[in-house]
Structure 1
Amino acid sequence: MSVRQAIWGEKQGAIEASLKEVDEDLFRYIRDFAYEEVLARPGLDLKTRELLAITALIALGSPKELATHLEGALRVGATEEEVRETILQSALFLGFPQALAAMKLFHKVLKGRDSAYPREG
C-alpha cells in the first residue's frame, strides 16, 4: 500500500484531483517526494510521522491540510487520545489559540467519522 493510500484512504482520488487542478508539477513533487520518499522512509513509523505533521501544520496555520493529517493519523493507527495529546502538547510551544483551533477541527473530523478508530492507546 502506498503511503498516500494509507493516509488519505478513500479520499485519495479526490485529494489527488484537487492537487492536480492546482498544478500538475507541484502535485508530482508532493506525491513522489513528500509522500513516497520522505514519509515512506524507515526511520519513523507512519503514525509518528503523522503526529509530527499535525504539530507542524498547527504551527503553519494550515487547517485544510491539518484536517487531512488528523484523519490520516487515525487511519495509520493513532488513537483519538494520541492525537488529542499531540494537540495539547502543541499548546506549550505554539500557543493556546492554535491548539484550540486544532482541537475544534479535530472534533469536526471525529464527528464526520464513525467510531472505527480506537479511543485510547
Structure 2
Amino acid sequence: MTDDTAPTPARQQIFGQQEGRILERLAALDPDLMRYVRDFAYDTVYERPGLDLRSKELIACALLVSLGSPDELRTHLRGALRAGASEQEVRETLLLCVPYLGFPRVVAAFAQLQALLDGQKKAPTREE
C-alpha cells in the first residue's frame, strides 16, 4: 500500500491482494489522482448505503464497457466476482450492454472476462 490509510470494506473486497499494486500504479501516474480514486471513489462513493457491493460492481462493469476502459474493466470484473456476482451474472451484465453500446465494446469486454477467468484457472490458489 502506498499510504497508511487502512482499506475500507469495499476496497478490500474489490481489490483483495491487488490493492497495493493498483494504488501504486495510480500513485506512479500522480499521487493526488491515487488519493482521489481511493478516498472519493472507494472510501466515499462505494461505501454509501442503498446498493450492495455486488450490484455496484456490476453497474461499474457496464459503465466501463461504455467508456471502453479495458484495464479498469478487468479490475471491476474481478471485483464483481469477488463481491459475490456469479460468472453468469457478469456475462448477463455484459450482454445487456449490446443494444446500448454495440458489439465491438461488448466483444472486447468478453475478451477481458475470458482473460480473467483463464488466469484464475491457471492459478487457482493465487488471488487475482
| SS of alignment partner, residue 18 of structure 2 | helix
In the alignment, which residue of structure 2 is the partner of 1:33? 40
Rounded Cα–Cα distance in structure 2 between residues aligned with 1:26 and 1:14 = 15
Find out whether 1:17 has 2:24 as its counterpart: yes
Matches of residues 1-121 of structure 1 in structure 2 within 5 Å? 1-114=8-121
Amino acid at match of 2:37: I
Rounded Cα–Cα distance in structure 2 between residues aligned with 1:31 and 1:109 = 23
Deviations 1:37-60 (A, max 9, x none): 101111100000000000000000
Rounded Cα–Cα distance in structure 2 between residues aligned with 1:57 and 1:77 = 19
TM-score, length-scaled by structure 2: 0.87
Rounded Cα–Cα distance in structure 2 between residues aligned with 1:53 and 1:68 = 10
- Report the count of equivalent residues: 116
Give ranges in structure 1 of 5+ residues lacking alignment: 117-121
Rounded Cα–Cα distance in structure 1 between residues aligned with 2:120 and 2:56 = 21
Runs (4+) off by over 6 Å: none
Q: 1:2 offset after TM fit, Å?
A: 2.5
Q: 1:97 offset after TM fit, Å?
A: 1.1
Rounded Cα–Cα distance in structure 2 between residues aligned with 1:30 and 1:57 = 15
Amino acid at match of 2:85: A
Q: 1:10 offset after TM fit, Å?
A: 1.1
CA-atom RMSD, angstroms? Answer: 1.3
TM-score, length-scaled by structure 1: 0.91
